Amino acid sequence: MSTNEKESINYGEDHHKNISDAVIKRLPRYYRYLRELLSHGRTRISSAELAGIMNVTASQIRQDLNCFGGFGQQGYGYNVEKLYTQILDILGANNGYNAVIIGAGNLGRAIVRSPMFERRGIKVTAMFDTNPAVTGDAVAGVMIYPSSELSEYCRTHKVDIAVLTLPKECAADALHTVEEAGVPGVWNFTSNELDLKQKTAIVENVHLGDSLMTLCYRLHSSEQKRTDIYPKDLSQK
């Protein structure tokens, strides 16, 4: 192993810059499967068995984890609890992040009721909406404030993540507001693809419709294959 390769196994911030997006996007899958294994009392697992559960190759798992220094022992495999904790650390889920949700409509309310934030060590501290009929209400114990108070709230409270669940035409203004207030992370659920250039905040665009259309494509392809194998009787109309 070269000197550069040894240095790249550092756990520091510079090392993380060298990790591919593909590897980063797979880490939450490891987190989910390891959490499930822990809930069933598993203490250790081999890369081959983990690969079978996750439907990937053992080589892929070893390569991914070696990006961060590797955590397994030959002849033993992986300590499930230790690997789970280390992946949590890598993902920053133990950093005590706080989030606010901008948009208290159906999607915003569904998200704040979801256990996904708490399970990942993230606390939702406030919601914001322009509708005066809902401000002052609470959803799952989280207060809804007027959108006019968003900037001041973000400046006077520790806010690490702004979740955008408002109409797409309002997304750019909301991004500008939270960015100016110093919020470092934005999780964007609007259909507006926010421009990441020259932005100080880190923006993760989420397109639920894209995932749905991918499913539609796969259904269509599957139906087409069945039609090719078992063509319809053209005499039946």
Q: Over the stretch 8-59, which tens digit does the pLDDT of each residue have? A: 333 444 445 568 888 888 999 999 999 999 999 999 999 999 999 999 999 9
pLDDT top residue among 128 and 72: 128
| pLDDT mean over 220-227 | 78
- Region of poorest pLDDT, from 108-112, 161-165, 192-196: 192-196
Q: Is there a single domain that holds both residue 29 and residue 123?
A: no
Among 211, 170, 214, residue whose Cα is nearest residue 188: 170
pLDDT top residue among 121 and 102: 102
Q: Is there a single domain that holds both residue 129 and residue 57?
A: no
Strands 44-45 and 161-164: unpaired
Residue 234 lies in a domain: no
Q: Is there a single domain that holds both residue 102 and residue 188?
A: yes
pTM for the structure as a whole = 0.78
Helix, strand, or coil (residue 169)? helix
At residue 159's C-alpha, the angle toward residues 156 and 165, to 5°, is 120
- The span from the CA of 82 to the CA of 45, in Å, is 11
Which of 91, 118, 145 marks a domain boundary? 91
Which of 74, 91, 108 marks a domain boundary? 91
Res 65: pLDDT? 87
Residues 6+ apart with CB under 8 A from 141: none
Residue 218 lies in a domain: no
pLDDT confidence band for 92 (50 / 70 / 90): confident
CA distances from 41 to 46, 47, 81, 101, 123 (A): 15, 18, 10, 35, 27
Helix (H) or strand (E) run with residue 145 in it:
strand 142-146
Q: Is there a single domain that holds both residue 46 and residue 123?
A: no
Q: Is there a single domain that holds both residue 8 and residue 102?
A: no
Residue 233 lies in a domain: no
pLDDT confidence band for 198 (50 / 70 / 90): low
- The span from the CA of 179 to the CA of 94, in Å, is 23
- The span from the CA of 104 to the CA of 108, in Å, is 5
Residue 230 lies in a domain: no
Give the range of the structural domain holding residue 34, as residue numbers without chain letter: 3-91
pLDDT confidence band for 1 (50 / 70 / 90): very low
Give 145-166 pLDDT, tens digit per residue.
999 999 999 999 999 999 999 9
Res 75: pLDDT? 67
Question: Using the 8-state DSSP alphabet, how is residue 19 labeled?
Answer: S
| pLDDT mean over 108-118 | 94
Res 4: pLDDT? 35
